[in-house]
Structure 1
Amino acid sequence: MKLKFLFIISLFITTSISLKAQSFNVATFNIRYDNPRDSGNLWIDRAPIVSNLIRFHDFDVFGVQEGLKNQLDDMSKALPEYSRYGLGRDDGKEAGEHSAIYYKKDRFKLIKSGDFWLSETPNTPGKGWDATCCNRICTWVYLEDIKTKKKFYTFNVHFDHQGVIARKESGKLMVQKIKEIAANEPVLLTGDLNGSRESEWYLTIANSGILNDVYKGVKYPYENNSSSNGFRTPRGMGVIDHIFMSKQFKASKWGILTDTYFGKFPSDHFPVMATVSL
């Protein structure tokens, strides 16, 4: 009887550890580019807050938007437990903003990685459709969980903020590229889509049949205000920062993290985090 009891306890502990090992935190975070005109909200002051937030909330895999090379370097220095991948959108090297992906190096192994641009010519840097301001880039990684040996893709993207056609076409391109790159493998997509859940480009992804909004997969989403704030108290409930998952994932948490410091905000967007299991 004693041996049977010990066996059951051992099995319970092993199962609990296994289940815990399979769940992890994924997040999307527009960190606001290092703009010297952001008086009172300069990157030099926000940088340690951003890194502290990431570590405290224990992000395992996360995508950032608007990250310039110096910002990514600052974060990597402050967060040595993470590796990152992502090219600059302006030249496919280091210039311009990045849609980089960070992942815990003791938890995941990088198998493959890549980037493409949101344009009619996705393999080369350039603006797409009616975008007038900026090149837009999507970064992706193929990761293996070191413990479970399970593999999955993560895509991270930042849609245009002005061109409506560019956003509509970017939604279509994302679905096309995810099918092309990931095929039937498990997929996560993080990003600032510059569009709410009612926007056509969001719905293109959400109704694609390959990805579902993690928000809709949890019973109690933590959504107390909008996902952007403009460095001031937000108004309304609009969410433009999203996390999607393929059918191989299940979600237990989704929330907008509204951390502040001395009444200030780490960025002009709040990070959005979800806990998922594969």
Structure 2
Amino acid sequence: MKIKSILTAIFVFTVALANSQSLKVGTFNVRYDNPRDSGNLWVARAPVVANLIRYHDFDVFGVQEALKNQLNDISAALPEYAVYGKGRDDGKDGGEHSSIYYKKEMFKLLKSGDFWLSATPDVPGKGWDATCCNRIASWVQLQEVKSKKKFYLFNVHFDHQGVIARKESGKLMVQKIKEIAGNDPVLLTGDFNGGRESEWYQTIANSGILRDSYKDVKYPYENNSSSNGFRVPRGKGVIDHIFISKHFKANRWGILTDTYFGKFPSDHFPVAATVTL
């Protein structure tokens, strides 16, 4: 009986291991293609960004600030990924995107959508006290081809000027995730323009449906801030986050401080997490 019990335990563990799905998740503000970024133009940074993504081998990742031509460049360099996301200006190709990339052979796209960070989220427009720009969130529901497991991934870029806009955006993200994903597994990536002490971060992290993947990891790779402004960063402020629902467990989290010839691929570093569904 003892041998039978051991064999049963091994079988149960093996089945559980086979049914778990480890995912490499990333969030990356790639800095929009700004012709005034002298010395850090997109034409020079584009192959570096693609190389970085390829090397770190994300399974899924969200980008922020990407214009359509930048999405095209990334897709051309990394044909193994599919991409979804609409432009914030017109709901088509106009303006910056908060797009989501996923490996074509690994995932099947089931659903997708977008909404704006405003009091009228179904149409393009500025939210609350935002003065500069429309802000958009994009989302997908993916199914892992081998395990058949499904999950949602939301990706967003919060406003950088309006404090009320950021506070309300935190509330809206929680509301929309509940409406769209229900009780299903969820990942949320983005540039939230706020650290862990900010009210909007706390709204999400203490929502009861999401937590910061960083909190799961005993030894996070956090040597400096997640933004750099194309120069040596000061301090350790993190404004780029990866949130997970209760269905996930994170075992790795880090700020990827890759550089080239003393330059930076973007004015933000990518943040990466390895999570198990």
Q: State the TM bucket, normalised to the shorter chain.
A: over 0.9
Q: Which amino acid aligns with 2:65?
A: E
In the TM superposition, what is the alpha-carbon distance from 1:17 to its structure 2 partner? 8.0
- Distance (Å, rounded) in 1 between the aligned partners of 2:206 and 2:253: 19
Equivalence map 1:30-45=2 (5 Å): 30-45=29-44
The CA deviation string for residues 133-189 of structure 1, in whole angstroms up to 9 with x for no partner, is 000000000000000000000000000000000000000000000000000000000
Matched residue, 1:154: 153
Matched residue, 1:86: 85
Matched, 1:264 2:263: yes
Equivalence map 1:1-278=2 (5 Å): 18=18, 22-278=21-277
- Distance (Å, rounded) in 2 between the aligned partners of 1:263 and 1:18: 43
The CA deviation string for residues 78-107 of structure 1, in whole angstroms up to 9 with x for no partner, is 000000000000000000000000000000
Q: Which amino acid aligns with 1:139?
A: S
TM-score scaled by structure 1? 0.94
RMSD: 1.9
- Distance (Å, rounded) in 2 between the aligned partners of 1:78 and 1:195: 31
- Distance (Å, rounded) in 2 between the aligned partners of 1:17 and 1:242: 27
- Distance (Å, rounded) in 1 between the aligned partners of 2:182 and 2:74: 32
- Distance (Å, rounded) in 2 between the aligned partners of 1:54 and 1:18: 27
Question: Following superposition, which runs of at least 4 residues in structure 1 exceed 2 angstroms of deviation?
Answer: 14-19
Q: 1:16 to 1:176 in 2, by over 3 A?
A: closer
* Unaligned ranges ≥5, structure 1: 1-6
In the TM superposition, what is the alpha-carbon distance from 1:24 to its structure 2 partner? 1.2
Q: Percent identity, aligned pairs only? A: 78
SS in 2 for 1:210: coil
Matched residue, 1:3: none
- Distance (Å, rounded) in 1 between the aligned partners of 2:224 and 2:59: 24
- Distance (Å, rounded) in 1 between the aligned partners of 2:186 and 2:67: 26
In the TM superposition, what is the alpha-carbon distance from 1:22 to its structure 2 partner? 1.2
- Distance (Å, rounded) in 2 between the aligned partners of 1:29 and 1:96: 17
The CA deviation string for residues 229-270 of structure 1, in whole angstroms up to 9 with x for no partner, is 000000000000000000000111000000000000000000
In the TM superposition, what is the alpha-carbon distance from 1:18 to its structure 2 partner? 2.9
- Distance (Å, rounded) in 2 between the aligned partners of 1:136 and 1:260: 29
- Distance (Å, rounded) in 1 between the aligned partners of 2:200 and 2:185: 21
- Distance (Å, rounded) in 1 between the aligned partners of 2:167 and 2:139: 20
SS in 2 for 1:141: strand
- Distance (Å, rounded) in 2 between the aligned partners of 1:171 and 1:17: 35
Q: 1:36 to 1:162 in 2, by over 3 A?
A: same
In the TM superposition, what is the alpha-carbon distance from 1:15 to its structure 2 partner? 6.4
Q: 1:23 to 1:39 in 2, by over 3 A?
A: same
* Unaligned ranges ≥5, structure 2: 1-6
SS in 2 for 1:149: coil
